[in-house]
Amino acid sequence: MKIKDAAYQDGLKRTNTEFNGVKVRIYSPPSAARSSSKVPGLVFIHGGGWVLGIDANDQVASHLAKQLGAVVVSVDYRLAPEHVFPAAYDDSVAATKFFLKNAEKYNVDSSRIGITGDSAGGNLAAAVTLTLAKEKGLPKLKTQALLYPCLQAIDFNTPSYINHGQVNTLSKDLMVSFWLWYLNNDLSFKQVFEANNHTSDQLKKSQYAGYMDPQMVDVTQVKKENIKFPEIPNIATILDPRFAPLMADDADLEGLAPTYVMTCEYDVLKDDGVMYATRLQKAGVRVEHDYYEHGYHGFINLFDVYELAGTAMQNWLAYLKKNL
């Protein structure tokens, strides 16, 4: 989205700095600096297929900080295809851990820090949440809020990919390209992925396929190291929950922070979000799921000019106000 002017920045202190060697942008509203008590914090991880930079979501991050009265830290992670997985993931984990450990420096209550992200940022936010849930001696994330996240790379023929794969806001062709840029920067495998020929019959009958389809019967439990794949660089990574959070085992979902998931009708990723929300609920996690009929991928960036996106923004903010 091309930003018309910088009026949305008015009243905000915006600071480009580094957390543990990772570039971040801190958004601090005046109310946070003046507050006699500590304020909430929010880690924001921007979308853009792991290849687009932080500036595209600058207005959204600014709006979150102002409306929440919270200190928002936007992670300027290393981008694909120059930096393939796990660069963006590693940066997101490192920056989030630094914020949790050093919250007091920013007048932030470390027990009231959440994490949010859209699209590829939702992927990274979910991956960070899974990872930090196992960390000892670290304040726990208060909540995770995932906007139309991309969460799996084993099935590009889900109903939402089939029904909305030609939608120009995010086509199947482009989403597969994003995954490949992040995985190994080799687009020669695009047609193989689009046809689901990057997996195997063994994988399609395994618990990993079952994670996507709770109705599957005769699921075969297999160990990752025993799964056979075609000859594709880094292909086994598609089963790594740091890369594809929907591949997390059931036990790893238990005890995660309360979760918000936003999905849209016209979005190849709709089913990813629905499947994750369903699995989290079954694991006992408190989940709120907002689904927008007629919504489309990326529409939150138009919250100030498109009525449905404005409604979605208000609902996202209402959830965060209640859960931070």
What local confidence, expressed as pLDDT, does residue 54 receive? 96
**pLDDT tens-digit readout, 267-286:** 999 999 999 999 999 999 99
What local confidence, expressed as pLDDT, does residue 4 receive? 47
Residue 282 is inside which H or E element, if any?
A: helix 270-282
| pTM score | 0.96
What local confidence, expressed as pLDDT, does residue 33 receive? 72
> Both tokens of residue 25?
């942008």
Dihedral angle of Cα 198, 122, 277, 316, to the nearest 10 degrees: -150
What local confidence, expressed as pLDDT, does residue 160 receive? 97
CATH number of the domain encompassing residue 297: 3.40.50.1820
Active site residues: 119, 267, 297
Whether 232 is covered by a domain: the verdict is: no
Whether 162 is covered by a domain: the verdict is: no
Whether 271 is covered by a domain: the verdict is: yes
Whether 264 is covered by a domain: the verdict is: yes
Structural domain for 312, as ranges: 7-155+239-323
**pLDDT tens-digit readout, 122-155:** 999 999 999 999 999 999 999 999 999 999 999 9
Whether 216 is covered by a domain: the verdict is: no
Structurally, the chain folds into a number of domains equal to 1
Are 28 and 279 in contact by the 8 Å Cβ rule? The answer is no
Low-confidence residues in the chain, pLDDT < 50: 1-4
CA distance 259 to 273: 11
Whether 2 is covered by a domain: the verdict is: no
